Structure 1
Amino acid sequence: MSDDHQNAAPALLVESGVRRHGRLPARPVRVNPLDEFTGPSRLLRRLRLKEWAGFTLLHPDVWSSMIIQDAQYLASCEIYAHDRRTGTLHQHAANARGGSPALPEELLDGGHCAFDRPGHRLVYDFAEREGRHTIHVDVAATATAPAMSAELTLDARGAGAPLSVGSRLPGGGRMYTHKAVFPAEGVLRVGSTEYVFEPGRDLAILDEHRSFLPYRTRWLWGTFALPTADGPVGANFADRPELPGEPEESAVWAPGACEPLGEISFTPERPGDPAAPWRIASRDGRLDVVFAPEGRKTVRHRFGLLAIDYFQMYGRYRGVLRAGGAEYSLDGVHGVCESMRARL
């Protein structure tokens, strides 16, 4: 994030009990959605708060994503890596006590977030003023997957313009998300295989959420990015139940700018076929792409009244992106696309 973006950041998401909604110029210095509430209402709202911070890594030889998430009653951490050359997917997951990751309210400058269990450690350190963020992974081998480790440095000064938005959701929910694209440098290791990240070629997309989600929650979401000589270019797009007139998180990244998108459609070419391409488009035509999946990560859980039916596909985008007054032709751009249906 440039110094101009940081200087434009509001101090608080919630100030004197009043929450900011809409598209913000940057992530507020402090984000705590609970500050909108007091007393018993605050305690009840805490039970509905869902928080996570994750990264999608973009590299020519591997698809990989990771996430630290806290549902308050349970925390979890997941990471996967799919080798394009062998077609092999490896993944690790672990659970912990709710609240234990302690996602920091002040994230970008000095924020530290860790999931630390025996054999499963994932750490984010954010140092905006020093111009870098770091990701550290140390996950032991299991009976089903090899060890994974990583030391990655993200170039905060070379990042694209941030996407920061808060909105009201149906059923009394609230959403806040912050997303940004960073050039990435370092090494990801999966077993004996090393993937070297080069900052002129490879990227990491941050996805931070702090939201009160409705009990019945669903969304379709995708993202991709590519480096250019002028900075990262890409898109973040979603379709979920919304209230009329409320801003949502769909946007395109142009060099130095983040421009809103709306009315996104996701259309699988062959519904029910997990290998079928998806057509994804905005009504105004600035996003018009086809996503071709190369694999997917699936999560299904049933816990009485709680349930999750989720999958994230990883693959390649082709088509057209219009951003910042320019038109970009996409062919083989790496990214992800996912579906969530849950009772939370």
Structure 2
Amino acid sequence: MSDPNKVYHLTLTQFHKYLRDKVAEMKAAFRETEEIQKQFNDIFKRELEDWQKQFAYCFPRVLTERRELPDALRIKIDDAERIEHAKLEQELAELEQKIPQMQAESDQLLARAQQARDQLQTSNPQLNDAEEKLKQQLAATQDAYAALYEQIESLRRGLGGLFNAFKISSLKSQQNKLLKKRQQLQDRLQNTRNTWQQQLTETADHQSELRKQWEEQGIAKAEAQARRDFVQANLDGLAQQQGITNVLTNLDGPSGVAGELGTALDDLARRNQVRTNYEEGLRSVAEALGLTKGIAQGMERFAKSVAGVVEEQNRYNLSEVKLAIPQWVVNVAETWKPLTGAVKDEVYLGANPLEFSQIVKVYFSDRLNDDIIKAFFENMGVALNKATEAWK
């Protein structure tokens, strides 16, 4: 048993190699686990098809022969039916409350769309008036500028340019003011037109989004109404069907039924257990693959950072430093090599999904959680920072 207080001291180069080795072990474990997943998927698909065939045989027989079934099984079905009946009644009550709310939301969307149109229609004449006033002011400015131009040209005739220099200068000053005013009016006119165009665009976009929401709301309301109507019309039948389905899918032992139906029900119970086992195995394999892939990617990124530090050490001929890695971090990193050995026989484990789930429990579920994984990477980061502090 390893000493929990033990600390390993590794040079940067040794640590980088260690990380790369661990990543390689993780990838090897991932490949082996993927083979298990393939086995599970193939076998589960076949088992599910056989289960569905057996269920398809048993369900109508149980439905029609329900009153002749043994008391224990019949009572179990009666209880399941009552539970399903109550669930459906609760669903109906929720739908009766939900549908008017959905209608109100739909009406609100239409009202918002109308409000957007009304606002656009209100702003349109206001902007038109503003544009016309600006155009009139711009025309008046242009006329005033032209009148000043004619005055200046008149004063310049003959020797007038010499005798009327001061007056001409004053008129040119007025012209410059008019030019500035004209530019300001042109800018305001363009801004007014831009505002109108922007309002058109925004209103169109808003209308489009509201229309999309209204259509989606309409579809959802129609589906809710259809579901309500269907359940109302078939309440007892649905409760019976779902009750029998629940009992059959959860059979886990002898049914007590005689004859061919009893044999089929007992086989269905056995297949229920097989199906449940493979569902558990598939959950476990997904957990193992997800954790392995995520941690391997994190280790690869960390190894890349360490490689950069090693390169810096070699480039600048920095002193050798060592990282202090605690035993528990090493224990986490050493998870995947023994895991690879444990899942090597994919044919055997493919036929025994619960044994694989137990392996995942030992190597992952009981050892690794989000806090431990986070601390694992943080501790290595702290060790790297402390080791390189000597270079500062």
TM-score by length of 2: 0.15
Query: Going by fraction, where is strand more abundant, 1 or 2?
Result: 1
TM-score by length of 1: 0.16
Q: Report 1 or 2 for greater relative contact order, CA contacts < 8 Å, sequence distance ≥ 6.
A: 2
Query: Going by fraction, where is helix more abundant, 1 or 2?
Result: 2
Higher Rg = 2
